[in-house]
Amino acid sequence: MDGRRIFRTLAVSIAGLAGAIQAQAPQTPTINAPNGTPPGLQAVAPNGTPAAVTGGLSIPGGFTLAINGNFTPGFFHDVNWLNTVTSQTQTFVFGAGVFSITATQILVTIPQNLFATAVASAQPVTVTVTESPLTNFHPTSASATFTINPLGCGYFRTTAKYS
């Protein structure tokens, strides 16, 4: 076999392997719907796991947000929090906010500064999970809506919408 033929055979093999890897990689992470089992977003609290928090409450250390769905832990990149009313944003990565990643759940500590201000009306927060299978593939993401409720709605209240 001459060098050119070996090179072509190797190139075809590498291209086939890259295609197989891409075919096995999930097209996107998914976040369960609000009525899913379990629901997509849950604010883990002593009194339940609803998908909202009341703005202005003092919760020292913040709260744990459980993001339920289908994920590939080895492809995890980050979780982004975006308050669509105030434009306040924060990105969480493993070891800096994100403390657990499994194939079905991501756990994130949401610091109090993201919900410390009392609000006059409900504020939607877009929570986005981004995965990046390999450096040469485009990152993929899934989003869901968490809610910061006004005082008087209780400690946590279940209200979530998903996209």
Q: What's residue 120's pLDDT? A: 93
Using CA atoms, how far residue 70 sits from 101, 128, 129, in Å, is 11, 13, 11
- Which residue bears the tokens 């050119």? 4
> Residue 153 class from Cβ within 10 Å (0-12 exposed, 13-18 middle, 19+ buried)?
middle
Find all residues with CB under 8 Å of 4, minimum gap 6, and list them. Answer: none
Q: For residues 156 and 64, is the Cβ–Cβ distance under 8 A? A: no
Q: What's residue 60's pLDDT? A: 87
Q: What's residue 59's pLDDT? A: 87
Q: What's residue 135's pLDDT? A: 62
Per-residue pLDDT of the chain (163 residues; tens, 9 = 90+): 565 555 555 544 554 554 544 545 546 699 999 888 889 999 986 556 678 999 998 888 899 999 999 999 999 999 999 999 999 999 999 999 999 999 999 999 999 999 999 999 999 999 999 998 776 667 788 999 999 999 876 544 433 433 4
Domain limits of the chain?
28-162
CATH pick for 28-162 out of 3.20.20.70, 2.60.40.10, 3.50.50.60, 3.40.630.10: 2.60.40.10
Q: Report helix, strand and coil shares of the chain as percent, to nearest 5.
A: 15, 40, 40
Q: How many CA atoms lie within 13 A of 34 on its CB side?
A: 14
Q: What's residue 68's pLDDT? A: 94
